[in-house]
Structure 1
Amino acid sequence: MAIATRYKIKFTCGHTEIKDLGTTPPGKRVSKARWMGDTYTCTTCFKAADRKDLDKLNADTLADAEVFGQHHDLPDLEGSDKQLPWATRVRYQLLTDGLDDIGHDSPEAQELITAARTITRCGWWIDYKDADPDEVFEVVTTGAIKAKEQAQNHVASENPF
């Protein structure tokens, strides 16, 4: 007679799932299934709780980003409704990492903030979200120069298409 590897487990959240315990030695499967049920929540509840924690972290970071933006007189970003909170958080994280790297009271710090004020497109900040802290100063100041050039070369058109 074969020893079962799949067990129906009732978790602490009240939901039931079938789990494969084939990697657990046969003599320990029943006790592990009981322990898992007494200790953990089901996969769906675990993911929901993880999503809640991520949403709270994002909301807290966004609140910090808005305070940082007001303190440094940063302009509002331009982009879609989905991009705005993401780019605001990215801008905050990049600038704080850059300021930590170059020093908050250094002459480059003011140059970094001044350059960041000229970059208002959400997509730009999102594109550079993975920049290393030691690259932030160069990336932002170069991006500000390019943003200024694009603004000067922009030709308005009456054509709506």
Structure 2
Amino acid sequence: MAVKTIWPITHSCGHHTERDLSGRAADRRAGFAEWLAKQECTDCWRAAKEGDEQDKAAWLETKRAEEQAESEAWSEQYRMPPLEGTERAVAWGVRCRHQVLAAAYTALVLEGETDEREWEAIEEAARFVTRAGWWIDQRSSEPGDLAELLQAASEADRPTENPHF
């Protein structure tokens, strides 16, 4: 006698289905059918997942709004100039600038050997970088590299003399 291939399953959500388990080895069908019975049916699982995605999207939107408000308040407190770029890039750039400078301050001043006077020079250099894309590009940079990155940004913005004119 052959082991059955169609198994009736009563899922944890209460829905009943019949599953074709012929794709599994005969000696593994009963155990898999038991496991399936402990799970929600496919429709309930999808509905819950969609709900989770909506909850995640709402949570992320709230988190981004909080970060944005905090970054804008920080920018105002420390007299950081407005950034240039698209509306979306400016919002992201403000958050990145805040995160980059806060991480650098923690690493260099609070945990490192940079004194407040040296930090103020770094902070002042940061005020001259107003392109949102630059801050977005630096969001993963190492805190110890910030002074060098700011110097490179300021050199890139300086007009170069062309000896041919």
The question of a shared fold, defined as TM-score above 0.5 by the shorter chain, is answered with yes
Q: Distance in 2 between matches of 1:7 and 1:141?
A: 66
Q: Secondary structure at the match of 2:40?
A: helix
- Tell me what 1:119 maps to: 129
Aligned-residue offset at 1:3:
4.7
- Tell me what 1:87 maps to: 93
Cα pair distance change 1:5/1:53, threshold 3 Å: farther
Are residue 66 (structure 1) and residue 72 (structure 2) matched?
Answer: yes
Number of positions where the alignment pairs a residue of Structure 1 with one of Structure 2: 137
Equivalent pair of 2:90/2:132 in contact (CA under 8 Å): yes
Q: Deviation per CA, 1:54-84, whole angstroms, max 9, x where unpaired?
A: 1111111111111111111110001011111
Cα pair distance change 1:5/1:135, threshold 3 Å: farther
Q: 2:59 aligns with which of 39, 53, 58?
A: 53
Are residue 133 (structure 1) and residue 130 (structure 2) matched?
Answer: no
Equivalent pair of 1:78/1:121 in contact (CA under 8 Å): yes
Q: Secondary structure at the match of 1:42?
A: helix
RMSD: 3.2
Gaps of 5+ in 2: 14-23, 161-165
Cα pair distance change 1:6/1:49, threshold 3 Å: farther
Gaps of 5+ in 1: 11-21, 154-161
Q: Deviation per CA, 1:77-131, whole angstroms, max 9, x where unpaired?
A: 0101111110110011001011111116522210111011100111111111211
- Tell me what 1:146 maps to: 156
Q: 1:107 aligns with which of 102, 117, 126?
A: 117
Which entry has the higher C-alpha Rg, 1 or 2? 2
